[in-house]
Structure 1
Amino acid sequence: MDVALVQGRTAIVTGAAQGIGLEIARVLHAGGASVVLADLDAAAATAAAVALGDRAIGVGADVTDEAAVDSLVARAVEHFGSLDIMVNNAGITRDASLKKMTVDNFDAVITVHLRGTWLGVRAASAVMREQKSGSIVNISSLSGKSGNPGQTNYSAAKAGIVGLTKAAAKELAHHNVRVNSVQPGLIRTAMTEAMPPEVFAEREAAIPMKRAGEPREVANAVLFLASELSSYITGGVLEVGGGRLM
């Protein structure tokens, strides 16, 4: 995508050192935005930002820590002068059956996804309300729509992100701040490609388009929601899953 849909804007992407988060950062950067790549791994975030070149910085940030998220937003405004796009993408998995899942693993996933997204929405919207403009995009998952066995923690967190998105969208609409969510399906990443080949093939075969998605396809959806092409869309949930679960 080489159209400058977000020219001159500033974006933060959490969990941006690898995978879908990194691809979102690349696409926003290619679209003209200055990008803060935030990740728990500060060195990896910095390396990814260096690879992008000008208009990109890497920042270490724990999205579950209130002060760290507030500092991240302040750093973006200080360095680039504004905050126009916030992408809450950071996440983890701790898969196990109900019988085997520990409370610690349940809490870890809920905290990173749900508290992390809430802290990001809260901190970003504080700046955007004053600007009277901004777009927040929260990364959910089709697992939050259908539920996956072995992912009671992840599915609950991703469903919660949808509710959070809609509530925040209602609160912020009159400030001209939009809040939307993207729900990826089976996307070809290092994590999914580590699945047993037969399991991956079975899941791919169940998709009406008969293929897994690419990270760029999720990133392009985020770019749409971040740009003025979606200027009258808020509280929406955009599925990027090749027709799975429709």
Structure 2
Amino acid sequence: MGAFEGKSVVVTGAATGIGEAAARRFAREGARVVVADIDGAGAKRVASDIGDSAVSTVVDVTDSRQVQAAVEVAVEAFGGLDIMVNNAGIAILAPIAELPDDDFARLVDVNLKGVFFGIKAAVPHLVARGGGAIVNTASSAGTNGMPMIGGYAATKAGVINMTKTAAVELRALGIRVNCVAPAFVVTSLSDNLMDGFEQASGGTPADEFFAANQGRLGEPEDVARIITHLAEDEGNWVTGHAYVIDGGFTASPM
């Protein structure tokens, strides 16, 4: 019997990368999963691969009504919601002084408001089940400075603080809130970030630099393992935690 047998989970940004790996891992452990993504075809592909324990839905996390609708899919398909994974995110690269206002607003809308909307949408349904877990995807970039990603890093720092605040506010309701803060993981999003690093460093190959400082580049499954760990019932005394997953990158000087 899997750790999530009988549990219902929504994962946003689940068509690719970390979200896809998390959705698949939850399903392997017995959960019923809503694969939610702005890429409807990608979400449908992942849900189809998982099988009968998954359904897909299209969600733009910048729209609170769509986030609420994604949660309702879980309630209607599976009878309720036990775990919410707010994973959807984007990266836009530029020095802070050159980052267009509209691009910064877009980062905030997706990376920070998307988590805010996800928490709000999930809470009533988690309460109805007697409690549950929320796991947000932040970034190790939210814990320190690095050129070219100031806007992105600011939103991820916001996710970390929102996670801690929500954990304090919701613990009396039996809801645990944690976040993962990965460094460079092999996804389409990190490809974009590594391109920015190479620009900022004057051409140092990003894959070589981060492999040297992290031991290796991360894989989506490295993060998915921690997401499921933070969501499972055995972690019922773990809340308000930002779990850095970076091969020791933030523990050593660059």
State the TM-score bracket (shorter-chain normalisation).
Answer: over 0.9
**Residues 71, 193 of structure 1: alpha-carbon distance in 2 compared, 3 angstrom cutoff:** closer
1:50 to 48, 66, 78: 48
- CA distance, structure 1, for counterparts of residue 191 and residue 102 of structure 2: 26
The 2-side partners of 1:238 and 1:129 are apart by 24
Q: Distance in 1 between matches of 2:142 and 2:217?
A: 18
Instruction: Check conservation: 2:96, 2:151, Cα contact below 8 A.
Output: no
Structure 1, unmatched stretches of 5+, are: none
Shift of 1:222: 0.5
Give the Å deviation of 1:193: 4.8
198, 201, 224: which is aligned to 2:208?
201
1:185 is matched with 183
Structure 2 residue 228 is the aligned partner of structure 1 residue 227: no
Does 1:33 find its partner at 2:31? yes
Name the residue aligned to 1:215: 220
Map of 1:9 onto structure 2? 7
Q: CA deviation at 1:5?
A: 1.2
| Aligned twin of 1:136 | 134
Give the 3-state SS of the residue equivalent to 2:33 in structure 1: strand
Alignment of 1:72-151 (within 5 A): 72-151=70-149
User: Residue 243 of structure 2 corresponds to which residue in structure 1?
Assistant: 238
List structure 1 runs of 4+ shifted beyond 6 angstroms: none
Q: Distance in 2 between matches of 1:193 and 1:139?
A: 17
Q: State the number of aligned residues.
A: 242
| TM-score, normalised with respect to structure 2 | 0.91
Deviations 1:65-98 (A, max 9, x none): 0111111111110110010010000001111112
Q: Identity of aligned pairs, percent? A: 38
SS of equivalent to 1:135: strand
Gap runs ≥5 in structure 2: 196-203
Does structure 2 retain, via aligned residues, the 8 Å contact 1:88–1:139? yes
Does the aligned pair in 2 maintain the 1:37–1:58 contact within 8 Å?
A: yes
Distance 1:221 1:244 in 2: 17
| TM-score (normalizing by structure 1) | 0.94
CA distance in 1, matches of 2:43, 2:64: 19
Q: State the superposition RMSD in angstroms.
A: 1.4
Give the Cα–Cα distance (whole angstroms) in 1 for the partners of residues 69 and 187 of structure 2.
Answer: 30
* Preserved contact between residue 84 and residue 133 of structure 1 (Cα < 8 Å): yes
The aligned amino acid for 1:229 is: E
Distance 2:19 2:146 in 1: 22
Query: Aligned AA for 1:43?
Result: A
Secondary structure in structure 2 of the residue aligned to 1:245: helix
Kept in 1: contact 2:13–2:38 (CA 8 A):
yes
CA distance in 2, matches of 1:35, 1:82: 11
The whole-number CA distance in structure 2 between the counterparts of 1:154 and 1:55 is 34
Q: 1:226 deviation in Å?
A: 0.8
Query: 1:22-47 deviations in whole A, cap 9, x for unaligned?
Result: 00101111111000010011121111
Whichever residue aligns with residue 153 of structure 1, its letter is G
